[in-house]
């Protein structure tokens, strides 16, 4: 018996296997279907997808045997990977000096007499293992069988590549989750730390104005007004950040049963609208099983924007809702200033605003719509808009029923 020598690129090959993180993974139907096909096409009782580690030849998938692995020193696959671009075939192991006294060959009537394997390569051409077929009797593959075995090996390579990409995506997701967690904690900490000094600044400005206004000229009064206005603007900005980063808590809120119009009426009361505004609620007061806190936050942001970014003498907002087997579908339209075409593709991004100034001349912070999109997505839905400048905006969004049902 001749044990297989190590390939020249053994260290890189083993590193590639380590990064794939597949040895000792659970059985998967996608791999098992390939070995089953290989066995049937090549007319052999045994088919394996092997991964050649430093000490063992481990089987990711196996047909016709229950053995999970073999010693690399006696493996056929160790020889097969030495020529990564070629199919390795041994028609009769008893006639091959490398294998005739191999324990796998001399194991009585169950000993291996035939082996054929195609190396499975990574993206850099490093052989990780093989797709191989084995028989206890002498055998030769036809050209069609060889071609089919090579094709199936390519499918294994694709599965390995998909596994790598999924791992990279999972790592990216975990990194983003961790980054978002840190950002949430940072935003929450900084925002809370700033709220009290800001409140003190606003109150102090009011006290100074009330106590010393008679001793100040108009310029001094204007400075105090500017100081208070700046404090209020920054306070609104901080509250917006807190709402955005605390929206993750709303996503986890438990589902319950509520009527949509009842929720909308509560939101309208909370907004304390002092404008000439008409809000038309849906004709059908839909009964919803879902996350009222998240849905309420969505509508609060959208209604608030419809009021703020509206220059009409009378603000008109239309809200509608339908349902089907999979989704609740909502819409909200207004007669506001609309959203320019060039902004519509990224209006849901954080810190993007509809306009430079709202109805009262205040500058927006661009947090509300990004929070809306985040909440809608967390509830299994999508949101889109249609808008024309000076003609209003129409939002449509959906929420998956299975996400809302308790």
Q: Quote the pTM value.
A: 0.55
pLDDT category, 378, cuts 50, 70, 90? confident
- The string of pLDDT tens digits covering residues 286-335 is 999 888 888 888 998 899 899 999 999 999 999 999 999 889 999 999 99
Domains in the chain (CATH in brackets) are: 10-160 (3.30.450.40), 252-406 (3.30.565.10)
- The string of pLDDT tens digits covering residues 229-280 is 777 766 765 666 566 555 555 555 557 788 999 999 988 887 778 889 999 9
What is the overall mean pLDDT for the chain? 88
What letters, b where the CB count within 10 A reaches 16 and e where it falls short, cover 91-120?
A: ebbeebeebeebebbeeeeebbbbbbbbbb
Q: Is 404 exposed, middle or buried (0-12, 13-18, 19+ CB in 10 A)?
A: buried
pLDDT category, 51, cuts 50, 70, 90? very high
SS3 content of the chain, % helix, strand, coil (to 5): 50, 20, 30
**Averaged pLDDT, 391-403:** 87
**What is the chain's length?**
406
Q: How many CB atoms lie within 10 A of CB 194?
A: 15
Residue 212's pLDDT is 87
Structure tokens at 393: 């905006």
């Amino acid at each position: 018996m001749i044990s297989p020598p190590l390939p020249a690129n053994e260290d890189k090959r083993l590193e590639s296997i380590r990064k794939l993180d597949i040895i000792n993974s659970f059985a998967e139907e996608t791999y098992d279907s390939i070995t089953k096909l290989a066995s049937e096409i090549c007319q052999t009782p045994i088919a394996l997808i092997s991964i050649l580690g430093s000490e063992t030849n481990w089987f990711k998938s196996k047909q016709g045997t229950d053995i999970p692995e073999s010693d690399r020193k006696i493996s056929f696959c160790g020889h097969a990977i030495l020529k990564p671009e070629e199919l390795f075939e041994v028609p009769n192991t008893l006639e091959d000096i490398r294998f005739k006294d191999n324990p796998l060959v001399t194991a009585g009537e169950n000993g291996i007499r035939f082996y054929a394997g195609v190396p499975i390569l990574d993206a850099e051409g490093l052989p990780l293992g093989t797709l191989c077929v084995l028989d206890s009797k002498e055998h030769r593959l036809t050209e069609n069988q060889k071609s089919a075995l090579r094709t199936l090996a390519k499918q294994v390579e694709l599965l390995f590549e998909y596994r790598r990409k999924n791992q990279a995506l999972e790592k990216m997701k975990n990194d983003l989750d961790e980054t978002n967690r840190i950002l949430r904690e940072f935003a929450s900490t900084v925002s809370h730390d700033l709220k009290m000094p800001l409140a003190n600044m606003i109150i102090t400005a009011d006290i100074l104005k009330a106590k010393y206004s008679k001793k100040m000229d108009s310029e001094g009064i204007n400075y105090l007004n500017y100081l208070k206005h700046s404090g209020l603007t920054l306070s609104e900005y901080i509250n917006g950040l807190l709402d955005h980063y605390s929206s993750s808590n709303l996503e986890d809120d438990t589902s319950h049963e509520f009527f949509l119009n009842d929720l909308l009426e509560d939101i309208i009361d909370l907004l304390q609208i002092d404008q000439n505004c008409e809000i038309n609620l849906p004709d059908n007061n839909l009964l919803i099983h879902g996350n009222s806190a998240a849905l309420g936050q969505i509508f609060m942001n959208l209604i608030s924007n419809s009021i703020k970014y509206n220059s009409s003498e009378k603000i008109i907002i239309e809200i509608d809702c339908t349902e089907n087997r999979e989704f609740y579908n909502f819409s909200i339209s207004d007669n506001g200033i609309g959203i320019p075409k060039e902004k519509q593709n990224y209006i849901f991004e954080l810190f993007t605003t509809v306009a430079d100034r709202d109805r009262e001349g205040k500058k927006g912070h661009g947090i509300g719509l990004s929070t809306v999109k985040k909440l809608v997505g967390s509830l299994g839905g999508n949101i889109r808009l249609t808008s024309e400048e000076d003609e209003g905006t129409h939002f449509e969004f959906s929420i998956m029923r299975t996400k809302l049902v308790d």
